[in-house]
Every structure is written in structure tokens, then in C-alpha cells.
Chain A
Amino acid sequence: METEYTKQIRDKARELLENGTVECVIGYETGTDGINARPAFIYDPADVERLVFDNTCSHNLVKYLLNMKGKPTAVVVKGCDSRALNLLLAEKQLQRDNIYVIGVVCPGVVEWGWNKQSDKLQKRCVLCRQHTPLIHDILLGEPVTEEPPPDFTDVAEMEAMSSEERAAFWQEQVERCIRCYACRQACPGCYCIDCFVEQLDPEWVGIRIAPGENLMWNTIRAFHLAGRCVACNECERVCPVNIPLSLLNRKLEQEVLDLFDYRPGMSEDAIAPLITFKKDEKLGIGE
């Protein structure tokens, strides 16, 4: 099936570049380890043979659309990626009409690591509830109709711990953080011109790479994605010191689902839960 995808993507890319529909096709090519895919930017029809699609195509390419400055661009989009696309359209960061979406029904991608050959699906793919892209101009593969129910056992395990244990756990995790901001740079939901963590005035977080500042950074990063995170889990994949960021994101994903019955990125005109309200809702606050 994947080789089939690869062929279809190449053909579509060639067509789009040749008839001038787009200036650039953002897809995947095989990286220098000869195993794992990496993002590829194709400008010339002659280069389309570089394009591939296989179960190492982890990257959320939607993030790159933010750099295309309105240039007509085609992009290869998986189910989770398509939710990011919806998010950015809803937040007026992209214009649908200059994006050509090559949607692929995603078989799930395997654990990623340079020169590592793996057949183990990533956690987010095991838990995935959106294999079929929600938004596409051409769809490759057969839409998945049956999606599993939400599963938050990982979150539940954390919650089973005592407050002190949790504090200790996160303390240890964020001590490793080197504030490289790869999580932010990879996240399609992070596009602030001036991220709060780097603002000098007000100085929300000091530049100290130290537990306190790191905890603040990781907490707010997660909170700024509350009701917006589309669970592509790129942040966790790119973290060089393996901080389990998905736990924070998924905790909030669960709360947003429970409290507001909301799933981010499911449509391009959805209103995020923190910029709307219901008068009579009970949220266990001040009651």
C-alpha cells in the first residue's frame, strides 16, 4: 500500500508542479540513514522521484505551511496532520485556497530514531482516532470508518500517583529539559511571533535553564495548547531528552473532552473551548 501511496503522491506532485497549480510540494523523502523519512520540498517536477510515503513519515508537515507566505503549495497530510490544518485555518493563519491537500489515510507511523529500524507503532498511532484526513483535495487510500473510543489509561496511571509522587516525577523530567524549544518549533499550534518564554518585558519565564523555569515553560506550553492540541505528538518525538510531553497534552485533551465535549481541529470553523462558554455549565469551580 505504501509503495502505492508513493507512486500516487509522485504522480500528483508532478501534475501539480507541471500545470503550475502549486510552486512547491511538501512531502517526505528518505533520510541519510536510508531508513527514516524526512520532510522534502519539491519545486521541480524532475525531483518528484525523491518523494516517498512509508510508515516512518512521522513529521507533521502542516507546520511548514506557515513559512510559505501564501505561495500556492501542496502538502502531504495524514489524519492527525489534517486536524492541525483545520486548527490553523480556524485561527486564520492559513488560506485554504492556496493550499492543495494530498490526504493519505494513515496506517500509523513507527517509532522514530536516526538509524533505528522499528516496526513498533508510535503511542499516538496506537491511540489514534483520526486515521482519515478530515480535509483534502485528493484522498489516497480507503477511508477508515471505525475509529476506536478514547483511551486515557496513561493519564489515569499518572493520576493514580500521589500528588507528591507526581511532583517528583515532573521535577525529574524537567530537570533534563535543555530549553531547546524543539517541542515548540515542531508544533503546528505554536506560531506566536514572540513566544511568551522569550519575551523580555514582561519576563514570564527567566532564561535560566533550571527546574523552576523549565517547569513553568513546560506547563504553559501545554496550557497554551489546551483545546488546540491535535495530538500529532511531534513535540514528544523531537524532544532530545525524552520528556513525556504527551502526558501533559493528553491530560488536557481528556479534560477538554470531559468538560467541554470538544476535540480540537475537527473542523475549520470550530471555536476553541477557551474563547467561548456556556452560561450554565458546571465545571467544579467556585461551586
Chain B
Amino acid sequence: MTKVLGRSELESWLGEIMRERTLVAPRRIDDLVLFTPVQSVDEIAFDFDNTNLSPKEFFFPRTETLFTTVYKDGEVELTPAVIDRETVIFGIRPCDARGIAICDGPYLGDPPDSLWAQHREKTTLIGLACTRPAPQCFCSSMGSAPNDSSNVDILLTEVEDGYAVEVITEKGENLLQGVELKDSDVKPVAPSCDASVPADGIVEAVKKSFDDIYWSRLADRCIHCNICAYVCPTCYCFDIRDYKRGDVIERIRTWESCQSKGFTRIAGGYDPRADKGSRLRQRFCHKLLYFPEQFGPLGCVGCGRCVVACPVNIDIREIISDIQETGAKVGQGSN
């Protein structure tokens, strides 16, 4: 038996949610699809491959205040930021949900990042399974699947008379309180994402390739913008700065990327990762070597956003297969 939610019921349910919670959903802006807070259901895009930017920014905003301090007659008063509003994200794809889960690794370790934890606690994920994977997708090769329900609270799969509903967590349960679900015997078709990338043994291969000239040759093409990092659902690096206005100081953090110039520059101006090759290598070593060694899973979910967005076609799928080869013939190339 499958629980099914009719299209119109879905819409009224989402309308309900909007009342006391912030509803974040995919929305069409010009020729982009972006996750934004929505005020009405007709702002929501239901038919899309995936959004141009990942939904990570509702857990790790592009800019977020950590705390503010006020200096009053010799006294310093510190107020940490608090996330109080409940948020529901509708339409998150399984790959992106996995991305969030992956970031729990670094962010919920010891000590946990308070803001990330708060966002996680206050946010409910309504996943939307992919019915037709896009050409850039390779989630299957990265340990996920178009209908992977493991990282969402509710998973919806489009079926002819509405959406098949799969409730995974208690959070999801609560969110569906009092919502009428039809029983139906439609079997949601489990689509496959067959674009396969040879990810097996990639950790070893990358390790072997570390000193290969491959990286600096690849970096010839890279313009070292931050697009890949900023569209990526698993890139979690940030920069911190204090904003001072009069007697008020606000400490904020913003997205930052290993590809940007100042990222590893240290006091005195020295940059241990100054050359293009080592800078670009860092991105892939982090995703395919350091992250798995530290936290287990590969630091990539195969959403393919970087593949699409990179202005010079630095394609992680190509790199993985190249590395599998070069890794095999290491020592031939040299730096």
C-alpha cells in the first residue's frame, strides 16, 4: 500500500505550513531555480531538475551573525545568535539532503557548531524524489539514489494522481499531523541514475596522484573563482570577520572557498598553497581523500552542480576517472 497526497491537498498542506513556519521551496527567478522562502504556493516550482544553488544555505547561510557584543561604560555584553523560527524545506532532492547529512560530520562533531545544530533542529525536510535524473547527475555513484529517503523527514515521489508519501522521521510525522492521505496501490517508479563514475577505490587513487603533474595541468584552465564551492551542497568552509560600528561589534561568518587567494594566506603574507595546482588539488583531495578519511563518506553527493556551473568545465566526473588512470600510472608524470 502506498500513501498518496493529491496535488491540491499538497498545496493546501503547504499553505498550512506557511502560516506558523518559514517555508522554503524551489522558485523560478528568470531562468534560474533557487530555494527561497515563499509566501504563497503558486511561487513554488514543482517541475525542475534541481536548483542552481544547493539548499545548504538554510543551514549554513552565505552570511550569518555568530554573536554581537556591546561596550557600555567599561562593560562588555555578549549576545549569541539564536535561531528560533521553525523552517520547512520543500522539494529538497535526495542528493542535497545527503549533502546536509554529510556536513553534520564536521559541524556536529565535538564540539558541535551551535548554529548548525540549531538550524538542523528547527528545520524539517520534505524531499522530492527525482523522476528523471539530469545529464550531470551521478548520485548513484556517490552512495545515494534519486529516491534515497535516508536523509529527509518526508519523501514525496510524483505519481499520476499526486505524490506518493513516505514518512521517515517523527519530525515528518508531526508535520503531517491531520493531513488526509489516500491509500493507493500505485508503485512509485524507482528511477535510476545510471551516469556512472568509477568512484570505487578513488581514495587510494587520489592519494597516489598527489604529486602528479596532472593537478597543475588541470589548474592551467581553472580561474579560481568560488563557484564550485558555493554551489556545492557539501562545501562548508567559512571566513570570520568582526563588524565594528561605534560601540557595537558583530561577529559574522560568510562562505569562503579554498580556491580564493586569501584562503590559506597567513600572517606575514606567506601562502603555503599559492600555486594554482595545489590550490585546485585541495578541492578534490578534500572531497575524495581527506573527508572520507576523517568522516567516512566521500565529500561529494553527485548533484553535478559544479559540473554545470564551472565556467571552464572543470568536471569532477572526468577528474575521478582520470585519477583512476593516473593513479594507476603514478610516477610517470612528475612535478
Contact = CB atoms under 8 A, between A and B. Distances in A.
Q: Within 8 Å by CB, do A and B touch in the complex?
A: yes
Interface of A: 31-33, 36, 38-41, 43, 59, 63-64, 67, 113-115, 176, 178-182, 184-186, 194, 198, 206-210, 234, 237-238, 240-242
A41 B136 contact: no
A240 B227 contact: yes
Interface string B27-64: 00111101000000000000000001100000000110
B30 A237 contact: no
A38 B252 contact: no
Contact of B262 (A114, A179, A198): A198
A207 B254 contact: yes
Nearest to A64: B220
Interface stretch (B180-188, B278-286, B306-314): B306-314
Given A67-B276, A115-B136, A208-B252, A41 B220 contact: yes
A182 B306 CA distance: 13
Nearest to A41: B220
A182 B309 CA distance: 11
Contacts of A209: 62-63, 254-255
B224 interface: yes
B221 interface: yes
Contacts of A38: 221, 312-313
18 contacts: A32-B315, A38-B312, A39-B312, A41-B220, A114-B136, A176-B29, A176-B32, A178-B226, A179-B254, A185-B225, A207-B239, A208-B254, A238-B225, A238-B311, A240-B52, A240-B53, A240-B231, A241-B32
Contacts of A237: 311
B227 A207 contact: no
B252 A39 contact: no
Contact of A180 (B217, B226, B318): B226
B243 to A, nearest CB: 6
A241 B52 contact: yes
Given A206-B241, A206-B243, A208-B243, A32 B220 contact: no
Given A38-B313, A178-B53, A241-B32, A185 B224 contact: yes
Contact of B225 (A31, A113, A186, A208): A186
B311 to A, nearest CB: 4
A280 B298 CA distance: 66
- What are the 10 tightest A-B residue pairs by CB atom distance, in nearest-first order? A182-B225, A238-B311, A38-B313, A31-B313, A209-B62, A180-B226, A185-B223, A41-B220, A185-B225, A32-B315
B219 to A, nearest CB: 9
Given A178-B62, A180-B227, A186-B225, A36 B217 contact: no
A242 B31 CA distance: 8
A56 B248 CA distance: 52
Contacts of B34: 176, 241
Contacts of B261: 194, 198
Interface of B: 29-32, 34, 52-53, 62-63, 135-136, 217, 220-221, 223-227, 229-231, 239, 241, 243, 252, 254-255, 257, 260-262, 276, 307-313, 315, 317-318
Given A115-B136, A198-B262, A210 B63 contact: yes
A33 B308 CA distance: 9
Contacts of A206: 241, 243
Contacts of A32: 307, 313, 315, 317-318
A173 B31 CA distance: 13
B197 to A, nearest CB: 12
Nearest to B319: A32
B236 to A, nearest CB: 15
A205 B45 CA distance: 35
B222 to A, nearest CB: 9
Nearest to A178: B230
B313 A114 contact: yes
Nearest to A195: B261
Contacts of B312: 38-39, 59
Contacts of A242: 30-32
Contacts of B315: 31-32
B311 A182 contact: yes
Contacts of A113: 308
A67 B311 CA distance: 18
Contacts of A181: 225-226, 260
Contact of B308 (A63, A115, A182, A198): A115
A97 to B, nearest CB: 22
A270 B29 CA distance: 42
B62, B313, B317 interface centre (most CB from chain A within 10 Å)? B313
A41 B221 contact: yes
A182 B243 contact: no
Given A38-B312, A39-B312, A207 B241 contact: yes
A32 B321 CA distance: 12
Contacts of A43: 217
A13 B181 CA distance: 66
B245 to A, nearest CB: 11
Contacts of A176: 29, 32, 34
